[in-house]
Each structure stands twice: as structure tokens, then as C-alpha cells.
Structure 1
């Protein structure tokens, strides 16, 4: 992913939370570009959900991310949940 693409973030988050959310977005990118360890991806998503517990806010952030990158965080999460493979790739 190009480093100049802004990630959808909230100014209400702490620095640590921003870093963790960016880590999740980078994991989504990895799922699309090269494949990513399923357990690590689900761990990153669980942390994302601690920061963004609201379904509506999650959906808004996922939509913003997809508009910017063309990658669906939702589809990456669904693939990880439904797969038994060690590595997920879309």
C-alpha cells in the first residue's frame, strides 16, 4: 500500500490506539497483496474492535478505507472467520 494513503482515523484515539488501528489496516492490505497469518489478522481485528466497539463507526471506517484503497476490510474479516487456513489471501 502506498504510504501516502491516509487511513481513516479518529482524533479521539490515543497514539497507541492509532498505531493499533493502522496495524489492522496494514493487515487488511497484506491479506489482499501477499497473504497474512489468519490468527494474527483476527488478533488485530479484535484489538480494532476494542478501539471501535460501535458497529456503525466500524462500518463507516471500513467504507472510508475501501473508498481509499479498493480493499474491503469487511471481506477480509469474513474470510478470516470462515477459513481454517493458516494464511488468508483475497
Structure 2
């Protein structure tokens, strides 16, 4: 990993940890696979921190530019799977 996660300096330490956890699960979905329930929980927490759709898109685009991983595709795939499934991109 030779990139950094998009972080807003106004977030609390707890919020930063939650956002980093979310992006790390996106990475894991591409690299190894991740349980849907873990990803959905992380995404729901991420949306509490980043409720604005435009801000979410901006952060996702920054993450995609840095990593090559597309969060939108992972979340879209998660919505199509049953709760016990593993998400593997």
C-alpha cells in the first residue's frame, strides 16, 4: 500500500478510525474477500460520518485515484448478495 486514505481533518479520532476501517474493507474485498455483514456495518458507520452523497462521491473518487479500488462497485455488489455471503471483486 503506497497511498493514503482520504481524511477530513475535522473528524474526531474515532471517526477517522471508522473511515479507515471502511476503506480497508474495500481493499480487502478486492484482495481477499470480505464478509458482507462486516462491510455493511462499516459502510453504515461511514455514512453517519459522511452523510452527504456529494462528499461521499468526492472521498470515494480520491480513494479510487490513490488505490485503483472503486468503493461504489463493492457496495453495489454487497446490496445484491445475501447477508452471509463473502464479497470478492
Same fold (TM over 0.5): yes
Q: 1:2-38 CA distances to partner (integer Å, 9 max, x unpaired)?
A: 1x41100100100000000000000000000000000
**Paired residue for 1:30?**
28
Q: Can you give the 5+ residue segments of structure 1 that lack an aligned partner in the other structure?
A: none
Aligned length: 88
**Paired residue for 1:86?**
85
Paired with 2:80 and 2:66, the residues of 1 have a C-alpha distance of 26
**Paired residue for 1:21?**
19
Under a length normalisation based on structure 1, what TM-score does the superposition of the two structures give? 0.94
Q: Can you give the 5+ residue segments of structure 2 that lack an aligned partner in the other structure?
A: none
Give the superposed CA RMSD. 0.9
1:27-66 matched pairs, under 5 angstroms: 27-66=25-64
Q: 1:54-81 CA distances to partner (integer Å, 9 max, x unpaired)?
A: 0000000000000000000000110111
Q: Which runs of 4+ in 1 moved over 2 A?
A: none
